A and B are shown apart, each in its own frame.
Chain A
Amino acid sequence: MTKFGYVSVEDYVPLVGEFAESLVKGKIFATKCKACGKEYFPPREECICLNDEMEKIDLDTSAKLVSYTIIHVPPESHSTMAPYIIAIGEFPNGLKTMAHLVGVTSMDDLKIGRPMKLVPQTLENERIVYKFVPA
């Protein structure tokens, strides 16, 4: 089964498994609480209203850059990857998430508010992740 993330430490729970399999098919889903309507991305199995009946919804993956950092000194698990850009992006529905931003070539490309898109990226060792790319 495909695993999510460049690395992971937790035991694989069903939701993350489904999310990874969906990414393989090129689809990125969020979840929505059937009781109160609150939406979550990254997806959650349970809502903070303490309801656990959630439905999967398509995420509009266009995003704007909210903040970023360039990691020069990585944790042990990412030791071969540095430097890499970690960005926070905000989607049209107001939800925000963290992911690598890949494909920018100069600091001029890192303007706050710049348009991006969240896309799946297949990694080695049967892993997959989402990343932001310039849009």
Chain B
Amino acid sequence: MSNHDVALVAAGQSKFGKRTEAGLRNLVFEATKELFLKAENISKDDIDATVIGVAGDEFNGQGAPAAVSIDEIGLVGKPTIRVESACATGTAAIKTAYGLVKSGLHDTVLVIGVEKMTAVTTGKATELMARAGDIRWEYPFGCTFPGFYALLATAHMEKYGTTREMLSSVAVKNHYYGARNPKAHLQKEVTLEQAMNSHPIAHPLNLYDCSLISDGAAAVVVTRADLAKKYTDTPVYIKGIGSGSDTMQIAQRETLTSLKGAKTAAQTAYKMAGIGPNAVDLAEVHDCFTIAEIIAYEDLGFAEPGQGGQLALDKQTYIGGKVAVNVDGGLKSKGHPLGATGVSQGAEIFRQLRGEVEKERQVPGAEIGLSHNVGQSGQFVNVIIYGR
């Protein structure tokens, strides 16, 4: 089989946001309903199995979220599996579906990523995410999730002279595009001054450096390439997948200015796809914090090590620049419902490559899209390259 034997043939997404009126079930329903409404020639009967990505049960208290999900959308009786890799859960779910399809075990798999996070207070959500640090030697010091990335930011600023303005430039861009995405959590532009002067969360990161705590779901259908044209005239193929990992304790990393797992994942995915970073038209990168997007530019080869901040400052990651990055608002403005994020990246690239997104944020003639999804502070990384 060639590298192009698995395809995406449909995608859907719920509105991301603080969805007080919607539970986990309702979010799953919304994304799935949109997927089948927009799909050209595929129905629920074509689905052989589901893969459900949910990062944490503790946010909304529902155990066995995969069982609840398929109960909600009427796929009970068909095989299902729940996948978890912290914030990289969504791409882990797509990767799992890829394996199931490529192995021949199932032909057509519905992947749903979902997270209902706002049922708990922000303090409680911060607490739960802090527990993704080592509970023996990190959690006892009260290192928050922004704290882990702040440790990377301090090191990057020290080593390369990355500035506060560079960090905020990422926030400004992602809010600019998020304001043009009707599915985004915070559809609001911010000025550089606002972004630079918001209140501190974990020095050197401030409020506008941090992604949002959101509710949301996203869904894609993954199938065999030789069946894909039966379902749509314009499938989007999975051309490459790479993954990597890193030490549990952040202090034990060889470097704090790059994510080793992301570099490995990118190299593996590029090699499998037979392309390099210059071929990428748009990238969905894991900007859980502004520094994470800058490091992603470097790990993915869009910029040399240490030059990621300058790339942002020079507006080279807007549409029309070197590579369009997070033109749906990213985690920063679109929102970051953990399990949904990686699937939403895939759904966004699916729509972009088919020319289907809102005009002012459509990347013209996009043929190659890259999804970069990071769990915790680099312990899990998946890079998926999609192409027409």
Contact = CB atoms under 8 A, between A and B. Distances in A.
Interface string A110-131: 0010000000000000000100
B144 A67 contact: no
Interface string A1-28: 0001111111000001000000000000
B124 to A, nearest CB: 6
B141 A6 contact: yes
Interface in B82-104: none
Size bin of chain B's contact surface: 35 or more
Contacts of B146: 73
Given A9-B135, A66-B256, A86-B151, A76 B203 contact: no
A73 B250 contact: no
A8 B199 CA distance: 29
Given A97-B251, A98-B249, A86 B256 contact: no
A19 B5 CA distance: 54
B126 A97 contact: no
A99 interface: yes
B202 A70 contact: yes
Interface string B106-148: 0000000000000001011011001100011111111110110
A105 interface: no
Nearest to B201: A73
B73 interface: no
A86 B143 contact: yes
Interface centre among A69, A77, A78 (most CB of B within 10 A): A69
A74 interface: yes
A122 to B, nearest CB: 15
A66 B252 CA distance: 11
B202 A69 contact: yes
Contacts of B251: 66, 88, 96-98
B276 to A, nearest CB: 31
B71 interface: no
A74 B144 contact: yes
A73 B143 contact: no
B147 A69 contact: yes
A88 B126 contact: no
B256 A5 contact: no
Contact of B147 (A8, A71, A77, A95): A71
Contacts, number: 113
Contacts of A9: 131, 135, 139
B75 interface: no
Interface residues of A, number: 35
Given A69-B154, A71-B147, A76-B124, A7 B140 contact: yes
B190 interface: no
B154 A6 contact: no
B158 interface: yes
A5 B127 contact: no
B92 to A, nearest CB: 24
A116 to B, nearest CB: 13
Nearest to A87: B151
Contacts of B131: 9
Contact of B202 (A73, A98, A129): A73
Contacts of A77: 127, 130, 142
10 contacts: A6-B140, A9-B139, A77-B130, A77-B142, A78-B142, A88-B251, A96-B251, A97-B137, A98-B141, A129-B141
Interface of B: 121, 123-124, 126-127, 130-131, 135-144, 146-147, 150-155, 158, 199-205, 249-252, 256
Given A98-B250, A100-B141, A112-B158, 20 more contacts: A6-B140, A6-B141, A7-B140, A8-B135, A9-B131, A9-B135, A42-B136, A66-B251, A67-B155, A67-B256, A69-B143, A69-B151, A72-B199, A72-B202, A75-B126, A77-B142, A86-B142, A86-B151, A97-B251, A129-B141
